[in-house]
Amino acid sequence: MAIWTWSGTGNGPRQSIQSGFSTSDAEVLLETVVLQSTVDEQPSETGIATPDISSAVELSETHLTILDAPGTQLPQPQIATTLSDVVRLSGSESKGSGSSFIPSALTGRSPKNRVEIGKLNGSSGPSEQAVDDALAYIARHQRNNGSWTMRFEDGPCKGDCDHSGVGLDPHEIAATGLALLCFMGRGHTMQEGEYSEQVSRGIYFLIQNLSTQSGRATWLTSVSKHEMYEHGIATLAICEALQMKGDAELLSKPCQETINHIIYAQHNDGGWGYHPKTPGDLSIVGWQFMALKSAFNAKLIVNAATIRGVDAFLRQHSKNEFMFFYTTEDDVPTACMTSIGTLMRMYRGWSKTDPAILKAIAYLAKEGPSSSDVYFNYYATQALFQYGGKPWTEWNNVMRDYLVRTQEKNGHMAGSWWYPGDRANPASIIANQTGGRLYITTMACLTLEVYYRYLPVNEAVSRDFQF
């Protein structure tokens, strides 16, 4: 699910919130979209070395090497001495403070910190209510086996919602991963919070459906062409569960083994494609990268060569210094890919004063939030949040209130969202239709959790963003 590569031309002006959106335009445009075909070619043995999983367990020294590597210095804080103060005052930086969270970028999710940090970083009463309503909607759509589906006809509401995901594949691994990320982003864990039961059942579903071979675990139920999308999203979800003091006995092994598969599946170009060892696609790379980051912070073994490969991939997929494109086959930079690439650069320690970051932020700020492309909004919101300052405030004021305003308020679908996709980004139209209302709701919910979900990389409590 999520973003599919648009095979064609066009990088025209984006549809802005102010200018609205025409569904009929989207429907017409959809007919012109061509999906990128699945790449079946075998990768060559040259280029970036494919990590040997068997040696991964011996890489703890490499782990440290990455931490000490040049270029990973912490940028100077811009958002938040006040944010640090809140964290410090609430006591979550010290052991035995009562917080159940390890000091990390996830600290803001703690029920103890979330409200204050959220307010400081731009949440509002209505935006927090919107997250509450979204979580209630998502919880109502969990299936008896603990999973979620993007096809409502397979779900508990039996199609009472409109805009079910289109297609035969329910994308249940990705749907379950995204739903879990929404709950955990708000501080609900397997042990704590109003939705601990839903989180536990979802995590158990993912764990029980893993198949392990040669130290690598995969979800065989993920049969669609979006295999690595689903793997990256679900791996991120279970690693976050582990990171948030999840049951280590239950989660450590499956987390490491799914991470091992990510390490194994990296293509020689340093990225990940739809299937293991196929040429990389920046959109798919983003999910593997976040899963690796979370695993690293959960003290799992993450191969240094894998991360260096990601750095190389980012270099190869940027243009005009600050923009990014999906794949080398379709090297037209887009706003959406630029938001992902820029966020990844910041997570890799690029300074906010670096000209490439400054230009990217100025570009994204000028583009503004999309009225319909939830994938772009999800990443661009995080990039602007990490940057902070006036560009963030201006972005957030529009993005936050737009999401609050456009959420369903009544009836069975209350708490959810639906948008047709942005005609300036045909990939978003396909993604929205394929993922449907559940996918769009999870992305909108995660966007509204930005204030506390991952604290700014420049904060002392957020050092875990540095591989």
Q: Under the rule (CB under 5 A), what is the footprint of Zn ion?
A: 157, 160-161
For Zn ion, give the closer residue by CB, 34 or 157: 157
Other beta carbons within 10 angstroms of residue 300's beta carbon come to 22
For Zn ion, give the closer residue by CB, 6 or 152: 152
Rounded to a whole number of angstroms, the minimum distance from the CB of residue 405 to Zn ion is 21
For Zn ion, give the closer residue by CB, 160 or 329: 160
CA neighbor of 186 nearest in space, from 245, 109, 104: 109
Rounded to a whole number of angstroms, the minimum distance from the CB of residue 186 to Zn ion is 20
- Angstrom distance (rounded) from CA 143 to CA 155: 6
For Zn ion, give the closer residue by CB, 148 or 296: 148
The residue assigned the tokens 């064609």 is: 8
Measure Cα distances from 167 to 69, 229, 306, 430, 441 in Å: 45, 16, 33, 11, 18
For Zn ion, give the closer residue by CB, 160 or 321: 160
Chain-centroid distance, C-alpha 420 = 20
Rounded to a whole number of angstroms, the minimum distance from the CB of residue 113 to Zn ion is 32
Look up residue 239 and give its two tokens: 């690693």
Rounded to a whole number of angstroms, the minimum distance from the CB of residue 21 to Zn ion is 23
For Zn ion, give the closer residue by CB, 157 or 362: 157
CA neighbor of 375 nearest in space, from 214, 250, 233, 209: 233
For Zn ion, give the closer residue by CB, 146 or 280: 146
- Angstrom distance (rounded) from CA 251 to CA 91: 27
Rounded to a whole number of angstroms, the minimum distance from the CB of residue 141 to Zn ion is 6
Rounded to a whole number of angstroms, the minimum distance from the CB of residue 377 to Zn ion is 23
For Zn ion, give the closer residue by CB, 269 or 408: 408
Rounded to a whole number of angstroms, the minimum distance from the CB of residue 375 to Zn ion is 22
Q: What DSSP string runs through 227-291?
A: HHHHHHHHHHHHHHHHHTT--HHHHHHHHHHHHHHHHHH--TTSS--SSTTSPP-HHHHHHHHHH
Coil/strand/helix, residue 211: strand
Phi, psi for 164 (deg, rounded to 5): -65, 155
For Zn ion, give the closer residue by CB, 130 or 161: 161
Q: Which residue is nearest to Zn ion (CB)?
A: 157
Cβ proximity of 257 and 210 under 8 Å:
yes
Rounded to a whole number of angstroms, the minimum distance from the CB of residue 158 to Zn ion is 8
CA neighbor of 220 nearest in space, from 202, 208, 237: 208
Phi, psi for 294 (deg, rounded to 5): -65, -40
Cβ proximity of 346 and 340 under 8 Å:
no
Rounded to a whole number of angstroms, the minimum distance from the CB of residue 199 to Zn ion is 20
Coil/strand/helix, residue 155: coil
- Angstrom distance (rounded) from CA 93 to CA 103: 5
